[in-house]
Structure 1
Amino acid sequence: MSESNDASRLTTPQEWRSYLRDYSELYLRAYPAEDRGPEQARGWMGREPATEEAVAAAEQRLGVRFPPSYRSFLLTSDGWDEAGRWIGPVESCDEVAWLRDTDWGEEFIEIYSEEGIDDYVAVFQRTLKISNGEDCWFLDPTEVGPDGEFAGYLFEPKYGELYRFASFADLFQNNRRFLQETAADAESAAAGN
Structure 2
Amino acid sequence: MDIDNWKFFLERWSRQWLAAQTLLDPEKVDEEAFAAGTLGFPAAGEQDAAALEHRLGTALPPSYRAFLRVSNGWRNAGRSVHLLGIAERVHWHGDPPHREGARRGSSGCPSQAGHGLDGATTVR
TM-score, normalised on structure 1?
A: 0.47
The answer to whether structure 1 residue 100 and structure 2 residue 90 are counterparts is: no
Q: Secondary structure of 1:101's match?
A: coil
**Unpaired runs of 5+ in structure 2?**
98-112
The verdict on how the C-alpha distance between 1:99 and 1:128 changes in structure 2, with shifts beyond 3 A counting, is farther
The answer to whether structure 1 residue 21 and structure 2 residue 11 are counterparts is: yes
Aligned twin of 1:81: 75
Separation in 2, partners of 1:88, 1:127: 21
Aligned twin of 2:32: 39
Aligned twin of 1:65: 59
Separation in 2, partners of 1:26, 1:44: 10
Contact 2:73-2:83 at 8 Å conserved across structures: yes
Tell me the amino acid that sits aligned with residue 87 of structure 1.
V
**Deviation at residue 96 of structure 1 after TM alignment:** 0.2
**Deviation at residue 79 of structure 1 after TM alignment:** 0.7
> How many positions carry a matched residue from both structures?
105
The percentage of counterpart residues that share the same residue type is 31
Separation in 2, partners of 1:22, 1:49: 17
The answer to whether structure 1 residue 50 and structure 2 residue 44 are counterparts is: yes
Deviations 1:86-111 (A, max 9, x none): 211013111100012128xxxxxxxx
Contact 2:92-2:123 at 8 Å conserved across structures: no
**Deviation at residue 28 of structure 1 after TM alignment:** 2.6
TM-score, normalised on structure 2?
A: 0.71
Deviations 1:93-131 (A, max 9, x none): 11100012128xxxxxxxxxxxxxxxxxxxx96555556
**Unpaired runs of 5+ in structure 1?**
1-9, 104-123, 132-136, 141-193
Contact 1:47-1:78 at 8 Å conserved across structures: yes
Contact 1:98-1:127 at 8 Å conserved across structures: no
Mean Cα deviation higher: 21-30 or 55-64: 21-30
Superposed structure 1 runs of 4+ greater than 4 Å apart: 124-131, 137-140
Q: Secondary structure of 2:83's match?
A: coil
Separation in 1, partners of 2:47, 2:39: 23
Q: Which has the higher strand share?
A: 1
